[in-house]
Chains A and B, each alone.
Chain A
Amino acid sequence: MSDIILRMEGITKQFGSNVANNSVNFDVYKGEVHTLLGENGAGKSTLMKVLYGIHQPDEGKIYVDGAEVTINSPREAVNYGIGMVHQHFMLASNLTALENIVLGMPTSRPPFLELNEAKVELGKIAAEYDLHVDLTIPVWQLPVGAQQRVEILKVLFRKANILILDEPTAVLTPPEVEQLYKVIDQLKAQGKSVIFISHKLNEVKKVSDRITVLRHGQVTGTISSKEANPNNLAKMMVGRAISLARKQPAVTDASSDKVLEIKDVTCLGDKGVTALNNISLEVRRGEILGVAGVDGNGQRELAECIAGIRPVTEGSISINGQTVTGVVKDPRIMGYIPEDRRRTGLVLDFSIAENLVLKTISEPQYKKFGYFINWGTVYKHARQAIKEFDIRTSGPEAPARHLSGGNQQRVVLSRELEKKPAFILASQATRGLDVGAIENVQDLLREQRNQGAAILYISTELTEVMSISDRIIVMSKGEIMGEVTPDPSNLPQIGEMMMGLRTSEQEGRANNEQLES
């Protein structure tokens, strides 16, 4: 247990003026799970990309098994026994798991593809590590957890001794997470080392032997998981104590006006299969309704239906009594913080000033001589917003592309909340943001609620939904599984609902488990 298999020494990596890694020291023992913890942008991914040969360090040395190495490409990394399981799986979805695993490997009978030998060998590996997957069906038909196992198999098939798992639990349901932990235990038992990347405080203590925390590209400390607790880890991550849960009483009651009303809505997903099945919900003035659930269970489609971008095949959606038939253009009625700010929330090549008026450019204050844009008022408006929302930028003419994720989100929030909309749709509003920025977003939304806005808060981060919502509904497979209050004691129930069990259907559980096994 005491042999150091990997040592990274004084790693520095700079992108322009941004120091992503600053003299980082990091080592891993054989048979150890070493967690790399830090906020988004703290330098975890950069460090791992350096290790995996995607980036070359400006300074510093890497030792594998005691020998100094230079890793110029992922292929070389693989040769040194380093394997990476990316957060977004690198699988060709129309190939089978087996084909995906051998993809890029030399075949034993060139030029023909030899799959049988690989299959036999994979069977052995799967048995050894408890990684059971159907290798013969296209991977798009596999559940997310199984796809992840395919990725792990892929890495083990390439004889990796050091496995980098990049935020592996982000896409999993609670039972799948448990299963992953078991796999990690197996890996450890077989003498493999695991680098576990995470920004979730609560999971790292459980899974790791040691934890190294990164902040602003520097190591703030390495501690054993025995010494770790959420409070000291949080402090190491953000440099100050943060309140992990803040509650404010709701300012609503059953007599408040219904702002959003969804009745029996059904819609189709991108592949033409039913994505939402008979959904009904309502959000009242002055309340935040949280939508919990594992990613990909209809949340995105729900948001798109409400935003008027995805057609509803049955049922109706109304905001302030008005049926939604297309995009709601009035920023006084609806503010929409979309799931993917870079793709749909912003025009990255536009300046901050332009992005702030995407929807309001036709308003009279931005016009002159009737037809022309008054760039003077557009920029004045931008300077105000930059000040009010504390957008860190060189000025209103800077392209949105140059902002950090948190500041990009501030631009979106500033635009969407400017007119004090009656209804706010926040879809994964904090995705990819660091702890400080998440607090900031949540505070802004709470403020809007206190002023009477109705908010639908969709997030796959359960802790966030718990901390901001007044009520919570849980979605699974395009249906609402039930509603609960955000009380910690309801967590087990929420977990079950996320797995697809209705509160009223607990008795069907045994049945379900039989089906799964």
Chain B
Amino acid sequence: MNSWSLKGALQKAKDIIVGPIIAIALALLLAGILIYFSGYEPLAAYGALFKGSVGNINSLAVTGVRMTPLLLGGLAVAMSFSCGVSNIGIEGQLYLGAVGATIVGLMPLPVPQWLHLLLVLAAGFVFGALWATVPGYLYAYKGVNEVVLTLMLNYVAIYLVSYLTNTVYGPLGEKGASYSQSPELVSTARLPILLKGSSLHVGLLVGIVLAIALYIFMNHTSSGFRLRMVGFNPHAAEYAGIPMERTRMQIMLLSGGLAGIAGASEVAGLFHRLYANFSPGYGFDAIAVSLLAGNNPLAVILSSAFYGALRAGATRMQQVIGIEVSIVFIIQAFTILFVTAGTVLSHRPSVIKKLFRFSKKSPAEGRG
């Protein structure tokens, strides 16, 4: 590596990390005040949160499990957002990816486990991408607003999975089960467990590898260069001869595919079957994860770990201190608010200046 890139990379890392850390600190502070006024001890609550998420090897494993779908989904968001495409359909694409993984995972294929797993993940990618095809086409070629398209299809996907897993008439449903679910995947289609005695599965590694791969693709290949160009300035990209329709379609498909892998990893790694409503909104939380990470794939690893830790620790916090789990969602929401506010302010220094001017009370105000 040349000296410029090391220096630049460090500077970039600093630029990306400092803002979110301040935002997280402010969010914890504000939520702490809420906890206090609810009649609990904030420090004790955060202590429990901390212990439950990173306190020991088992809680770390829980954090890892919770972060995996957020990481993969976060990459899907980062992929589209950094290319100027607002794919809000991660949740639906994640459900469809789970369907693809289930179909391939139920087949007793006469192949080695690694190949079967690869096929399961590939099916997740393909199904997620397929679910993004229609909104992708309408957006890229017909100019329809992609936010509305992808958002609405989420609900279609969730109900589609409820239908598919229905125990009476669902094509993938387990007949006679008490909950809408598919039969268990064959053993070769289950992702190996990383830590014995826990649920931590290989999906986390898949996510980390994909994050690194996505980072390299976006920053060190000419295809990624063009995608970033489209994201930062579509007009200049068009003038440079980049076919906009096709490129936008590609972005949507890649993003949908990544979301599909998130669903596939949950099915093949954690549940080993497809459940109706299996995602508690991972696809939506993934947007927050990516925003916190500034849509940088490597930073998504960190931000998904943070959100995963919040989720993992929340259970313990409830058990030990008695605080509702929902405080975690409040922390999450505050974090995003502060990150967004920080971004807005850093682009408009005049706003900050004005804030300070008000606080100092300018002599002009005494005039009137």
Contacts and interface: CB of A to CB of B under 8 A. Distances in A.
B239 A309 contact: yes
A419 interface: no
Nearest to B357: A56
A346 interface: yes
Contact of B233 (A72, A346, A379, A395): A346
Contact of A329 (B5, B216, B236, B241): B241
A344 B229 contact: no
A384 B367 CA distance: 57
B232 A350 contact: yes
A362 B220 CA distance: 12
A389 interface: no
Nearest to A358: B240
Interface in A15-72: 70, 72
Contacts of B241: 326-329, 359
Interface string A313-355: 0000000000000111100000010100001111111100010
Given A350-B232, A361-B225, A372-B221, A309 B2 contact: no
A349 B236 CA distance: 12
Nearest to B7: A397
A397 B8 contact: yes
B contacts with A: majority SS: helix
A361 B239 CA distance: 15
Contacts of A336: 239
A358 B229 contact: yes
B222 A343 contact: no
B4 interface: yes
Interface in B219-233: 220-222, 225-226, 228-229, 232-233
Contact of B222 (A70, A72, A329, A367): A367
Interface residues of B, number: 24
B364 A354 contact: no
A375 interface: yes
A349 B232 contact: yes
A420 B228 CA distance: 27
Nearest to B365: A72
Given A72-B364, A358-B229, A367-B222, A379 B2 contact: yes
A343 B226 CA distance: 16
Interface in B276-334: none
A350 B229 contact: yes
Contact of B238 (A327, A348, A371, A372): A327
Interface in B89-146: none
B235 A344 contact: yes
Nearest to B12: A397
Contacts of B2: 375-376, 379
A307 B239 contact: yes
Interface string B351-368: 000000000000110010
A265 interface: no
Interface in B223-259: 225-226, 228-229, 232-233, 235-241
Contacts, number: 69
A375 B220 CA distance: 8
**Count class of interface residues, chain A:** 20 to 34
A329 B238 CA distance: 11
A510 B221 CA distance: 64
B205 to A, nearest CB: 23
A414 to B, nearest CB: 15
B112 to A, nearest CB: 29
Contacts of A309: 238-239
Contacts of A362: 222
A361 B8 contact: no
B2 to A, nearest CB: 6
B294 to A, nearest CB: 12
Contacts of A279: none
B347 to A, nearest CB: 11
A144 interface: no
A343 B8 contact: no
A70 B367 contact: yes
A347 B240 CA distance: 11
Interface in B1-37: 2, 4-5, 8
Contacts of B220: 372-373, 375
Given A327-B241, A397-B8, A373 B233 contact: no
Contacts of A396: 4
A379 B4 contact: yes
B221 A371 contact: yes
Nearest to A327: B241
A306 to B, nearest CB: 12
A343 B232 CA distance: 11
Contacts of A329: 241
Nearest to A338: B239
Nearest to A353: B4
Contacts of B221: 371-373
Contacts of A376: 2
A373 B2 CA distance: 14
A396 B7 CA distance: 13
Contacts of A359: 240-241
Contacts of A327: 238-241
Contacts of B237: 347
Nearest to A375: B5
Contacts of A372: 216, 220-221
Contacts of A375: 2, 5, 220
A358 B240 CA distance: 7
A256 B337 CA distance: 64
Interface of A: 70, 72, 307, 309, 326-329, 336, 338, 343-350, 354, 358-359, 361-362, 366-367, 371-373, 375-376, 379, 395-397
List the 8 shortest-distance A-B pairs measured between CB atoms, nearest first: A327-B241, A329-B241, A70-B364, A347-B233, A361-B222, A344-B235, A344-B239, A349-B232
Interface of B: 2, 4-5, 8, 216, 220-222, 225-226, 228-229, 232-233, 235-241, 363-364, 367
Given A343-B233, A347-B237, A349-B232, 16 more contacts: A70-B364, A309-B238, A326-B241, A327-B239, A327-B240, A344-B238, A346-B236, A347-B236, A358-B240, A359-B241, A361-B226, A375-B2, A379-B4, A395-B4, A396-B4, A397-B8
18 contacts: A70-B363, A70-B367, A309-B239, A326-B241, A329-B241, A336-B239, A343-B235, A344-B238, A345-B239, A347-B237, A350-B232, A358-B240, A359-B241, A372-B221, A375-B2, A375-B5, A379-B4, A396-B4
